[in-house]
């Protein structure tokens, strides 16, 4: 058993090392978009997220004082084909960063009525962007445009489930 700072212990020394260093586990190349989503999910140790998709927290910055909220968090987040990050909002700024796989659409609604859509992915010459910013309390939803998309999401100040609101099923801005 190896001790790591994410889950306390890990039965897999390679997985514990990968979590600490950010290295990808041996035997997987994320440039291979033909990899099944389940393979990527398993190798990265992702678990289901309440909004849809799969995730794992990879970083949490310490608070500057004992009564303060931590400064920030980061997660790996994967959406497979047909999955959607359902409409939700958080009480902090969020940065979506494309990592691997297909591009994705990130839908945003600051007022709950009108929407904008960002295409986040590697094809800059086709109008995609590598990052998308979501302001605090803005509604957001996303879906992969291929077999799977892996992004990192950085939230500042730190993500807390108390500051997370999932819209009712079927809700759409408008």
Domain boundaries, the chain: 1-30, 35-166
What does the pLDDT look like over 146-161, one tens digit per residue? 999 999 999 999 999 9
What does the pLDDT look like over 16-70, one tens digit per residue? 444 444 555 567 899 999 999 999 999 999 999 999 999 999 999 998 888 899 9
- Show the tokens assigned to 166: 């999932």
Provide the Cα torsion 99, 103, 104, 109; round to 10°: 90
What does the pLDDT look like over 133-147, one tens digit per residue? 999 999 999 999 999
- Show the tokens assigned to 93: 């700024």
Which CATH superfamily groups domain 35-166?
Jelly Rolls (2.60.120.10)
More confident residue, 127 or 11: 127
Q: What's the pLDDT score for residue 64?
A: 85
Nearest to 33 by CA among 122, 130, 106: 122
Half-sphere exposure for 32 (CA within 13 Å, toward CB): 9
Decide: 101 and 149 in contact? Cβ < 8 Å: yes
* Distances in whole angstroms, Cα of residue 38 to Cα of each of 28, 47, 78, 98, 123: 12, 11, 10, 19, 24
Decide: 153 and 94 in contact? Cβ < 8 Å: yes
């Amino acid at each position: 058993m190896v001790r790591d700072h994410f889950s306390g212990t890990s039965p897999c020394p390679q997985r514990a090392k990968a979590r600490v260093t950010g290295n990808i586990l041996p035997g997987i190349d994320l440039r291979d978009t033909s990899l099944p989503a389940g393979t990527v999910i398993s190798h990265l140790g992702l678990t289901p997220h309440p909004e849809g998709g799969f995730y794992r927290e990879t970083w949490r910055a310490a608070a500057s004082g004992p009564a303060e909220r931590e400064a920030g968090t980061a997660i790996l987040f994967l959406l497979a084909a047909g999955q959607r990050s359902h409409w939700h909002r958080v009480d902090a700024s969020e940065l979506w960063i494309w990592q691997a796989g297909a591009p994705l659409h990130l839908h945003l609604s600051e007022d709950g009525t009108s929407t904008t859509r960002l295409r986040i992915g590697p094809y800059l010459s086709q109008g995609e962007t590598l990052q998308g910013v979501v302001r605090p309390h803005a509604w957001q939803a996303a879906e992969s445009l291929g077999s799977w998309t892996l992004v990192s999401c950085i939230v500042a100040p730190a993500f807390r489930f108390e500051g997370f609101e999932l819209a009712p099923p079927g809700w759409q801005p408008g």
